[in-house]
Structure formats: structure tokens, C-alpha cells
Structure 1
Amino acid sequence: MKKKWLLPVLASLMAFSATPALASANSNTQATQAELTTTAKSFLNTPYYYGGTTKSGIDCSAFTMSVFKQFGIQLDRTSRGQYNQGTSVSKADLQVGDLVFFNTSGSGVSHVGIYIGNGNMISAESSEGVAISSINDPYYWGPRYIGAKRIAEFPSVKDAAIDFSVYASRSEVAKQLAVALELDMTNTESGFTDVKTNHKNAGAIAAVKEKGIFSGDENGKFNPFSPITKAQLANVLVAAFKLEKGSLDKTFSDVSSEHYAANSIEILASNGIVSGKADGSFGTSDIVTLEQLSSMIQKAKLLSK
């Protein structure tokens, strides 16, 4: 295998403001994983040019910056600057769209790529141009891997494509929780910009917000017509029912100690509220079905009594 040499990205060449808070997984405007990957792959074979920012020639941080910019997400100009953005993610918890970082210069972060699944990333490499490589390549990338950051959540499908007669919306989660917890739902002023007082579940949404169970995104939206993932629901249920760790010992292949919902998932599993999938994973990014939601709420309610 041909050895690759990459130039470290140094000082900023252009000024950009800091990225906003981590984009909500439930944003109706959020790009899907397929859309992000397709956009990134449109740069394939673009030649590498240190300091370049176009498809005539581009460097690693300009490539990631250009891809994310097309989805309204602003990144710093340098790989080191981008490493200071977003939320840290363990290698075991990587999702499509996460930024992955490497030390190719011997002096810290000097290369960045976009994770596209199955152990692969797409990045602007000095010897190949924009190309797809394995982040675990034992000859080069593997030993130079530093870490990853999640700048935004990219769902696998658009909210509009989800059948909410099968899957649970955030609005439905709020309603079932409010009923199970016997919350007062007479107040319909939730304070969320996308939940009007005449929304059918406005009272429930206002009630769970008041209890600190749910909060909105960085734009003050609740996103009532968006789905919820199993990891997100785990955090919600533990907070709603004030659950504590039980006696069962259960671990999942896709939940590391650094995962944002690791503690909540452990609590649910240790109390028999969740059991995971046949392949040994929890399915952190799987969206919750109505059947799963009802079952998990019933078990959590019984446990909290």
C-alpha cells in the first residue's frame, strides 16, 4: 500500500464564527444520512490543494466545511478548530456524519474527515484528493486516529417519510407520559414556538416541559411531529420516572461508557425495561415504535410505584 503524506492544516485562512449548538435529531429541516453522504461523495476525486476551498482543489478542513455548509452548519476553517466544536463521540458510537480526526503531522490534530459508516470516512487526502478510506487502516489511518466529534444528528430518513401510525412522535411521547404520570394538562402554553395552544397535545407538552422531562432544541422548538430514538427515550424515561439502577447485568455492543445515554440505558436494562436486539445491540439510533413506547412506559410506571 502506498504511504500517504498529509500536510498539517495551520492557521485559519478565512474567518468564520463558531458553530451553533448540536443540531437536534428531531429537526424537520435536518439532512438525512443519505443526503449528507451523497453531498460528500460529489467531491470524490477533487484534487488536494493545501489552502484550497473549491472543487478545483481543496484541503481536508475546507472539504468538511464545504459539505456541512450546504446543510446550514458552519464549521471552523481548520481541523484543529473543528476538533473544538460539537460533542465528543467514542469510536464505538460513531454515526454517519460525525467528524473523525487524525494526527498525521506528529503534533496533534492535523486531518479531518466525515464518517460515512462501515468503518469508512471520506476526506481530502494529500496523496489521493477526496477519497474514501478505512479509519481502521492498520498501515496509516488506524494508528493516527485521535477521536471524533458530533456536530449534528443526521437521521436515516426524513420525518415526512415516517409512518406515525407505527412510530411514536415526540408529541405522542409527551401525551403518554403526561397520562402515565397523571400530570395537570390544563395549561396549553408550552412556550415552544412550534406548538400552538390549539395543538391536540399542547397541554401534555406544556406539562412535561414544566416537569423538566423535555426541553426544546436550540431554536426553541419542540418538534412535535418528529420521531424519537431509543437512546433519547431512555433519557426521557429515567428522568420522568426517577428510575435507579436495578439488579440485572446487561450490556450492549453499541453502547459505550461515553455514550450520552449510557447511564439511562443501563438503568432501563438493569430493571428489565429493555432487553436489546438479537445481535446484542441496543439500537441507539432506532426510532421508537408506538408498541415499544407503550410497553416501556408501562414497565417504568410499575417500577416507580
Structure 2
Amino acid sequence: MVKKFYLLSIVSVLLLVLVPAKEAFASTQEKLLDVSKQYIGVPYSFGGSTPHGFDCSGYTSYVFNEMGISIPRTTLTQWEVGSSVSRSDLQVGDLVFFKNTYRAGISHVGIYVGNNDFISATSSRGIAIVSMSSNYWGPRYVGAKRVSNFNVANSNESGSNESDWFTDLSKKHAAYEAIKLMTDEEIINGYTDGTFRPDDSITREQAAAIMNRHLNLEASGSTGFSDVSPGERFYEDVSAIQNAGIIKGFPDGSFKPKKEMTRTEMALIVARAFGLENHPVSDRDQIYQDINENTNYFHQMSLMNAIDRTGVYNTSNFDGQSDASRMDFSVAVYNGIETTE
């Protein structure tokens, strides 16, 4: 009888210990995601290890320290700790490593957050979530290390409609995948406060810079524009795009770099940039109700619908004289890339 009571007591104690432990695993993983994501948008700072500015290993060591886990400070020393994990077995919280970024060999580290994405300190966007399969990061992936088990069973890999990319862009948004790819490839960037601001207008100089990040054309001599001078932020992009005949100036010799780009202008430069000026469009006489075959640049505007992969341009009107938004331009360039690759 005494033995039976003793065994029951042990079982009771184990239940009291084990059940809260299971709950602790779940809350630990949720905490890791919360802690890591709260710094999205914090700027990159070489040698930085505080919320005022992070480099890649400074960020990972800071987040893990917040979780009560001590790891070394540098990327190379972090590579030396924990157990190796195959890519197919990655769990939320694993450290993922990349090579040949700003130096030869292992040079970048981030934290795996699920869905083939990782969060890290990037030089262009600060703390950001990016895809491990992007054209930039995919070929540079080296391996992963697990320094703590954050309970993959409760991984946040569900179909949440919340966007891990930007706070103002839901996964339900028609442009989400296009903008995700464009930012992942660093063709267009978001803002340091974690927003994308999809409805903001885009200027002519910004459009030139974004287009040239994909085309990677070299500047060639002077632009000839009276209002674009060497040394200005987007001078080389404007020069390269102008010399390629993609964006043109105005009769008075100006470029008007700060002027908002219209949706018609956007359609023109996308058609030119991707060589789609003779691309077939719908057999319908009128895709958009506010333009017809007698409208200037009818083909280029109709093209935005013909090459659209997102549904963003499946609308009743084209509104060619309205300002092109960051979303409009991102999707148009994305569609051009997808159509020509």
C-alpha cells in the first residue's frame, strides 16, 4: 500500500512538472518570433549589436540573449556552436548561414522563421524577413545550426493573413507575392518603420532607379538634362535608363526627376524596358473602358493587362493620367520580369 502510494505521488509530481514544460516550449517559440520581429526595420550598422543598429551576428546574439540563451558574438564563432541541421529539417529558431556576401567564406547569419524564410540584418533594408530561395541568398546558403529547440510542433507556419514583409501589406493583397519577390531581390525597398506604403506615388527618378536595379545598365556620359547633375543620388540610374531609350525627357530639356510618374508613363517604360512593345494583347477591342484604339499609347496600356500575373491590372479603367503608385510600378515590373524570363 505504501509502495502504491509512493508511485502515485511520483506520477503526480511528474505530471505537474511535464505539463507546464510542454506549454513553456510553445510560449518560448512564440516569444522567439515576437522578439525577433519587433526589430523589423531597425537599420543595419556594421558592428552594431543594439536596437539602435544591428549587424547580422549582433542581431542574432541580441535576440538569443533576450531569450536567455548565450551565443558567441561573431558569425564565424556562431557557426562553431550547436548541432548541424539539414535544410529539410529546419525548425523555427535555427541559425542559418550564408557565404560570400561582403567577404569570402561564411559571412552572414540569420534566424529561420518558417516558410523557407529567415530574418536577419540586411544592409539595404535593416532587419527584414527574406526568402532563403531568392536569387541572392539561395546560392549563398551554407548550412544551419541548432543551439536550442524551440518546439517545431508549434511553428508559426500556418496560413496567417498577416504579412511578415510589411505591416501595411496583407498576404491577401493581390500584389503581395509580386512585392515580396521585388523586395526580396532588392529591386524595390520598404521603409525603416516596417511599412511598404503601396499607395504612395513614385517619382520619375525613383522609377529609373528601380528599373535599373533589375536591368543593371551602366551610365554612359552626360544625361543632357538640365535638372539632373552628376553626384545626385539617382544620376547614374537616370543616365543609364535614358541612354537605353527607356525613359525620355521633356521638350524643354528637363527630366523632372521629382515629378510623379503617371500610369501611362509607367506602361511606356515597362514596354520599352522588357522589349514588349509588340507583345500581343487581348483580342477584345477594348480592355479598359476609358481607352480605345484611338487613344495614344493604347497598346502599352492594354499590355499591362495582357502580362498581368496578379489581378492588379484586371480593372474596368486604366486611369492613365493618375499617378503610378509604388504598388502599381512594383507589379508592372514584376509582370515584365515574369513575362520575359
Q: Give TM-score scaled by structure 2 length.
A: 0.38
Q: Give TM-score scaled by structure 1 length.
A: 0.43
Greater helix fraction, Structure 1 or Structure 2: 2
Rg larger in 1 or in 2? 2
Bigger relative contact order, structure 1 or 2 (CA pairs below 8 A, ≥6 apart)? 1
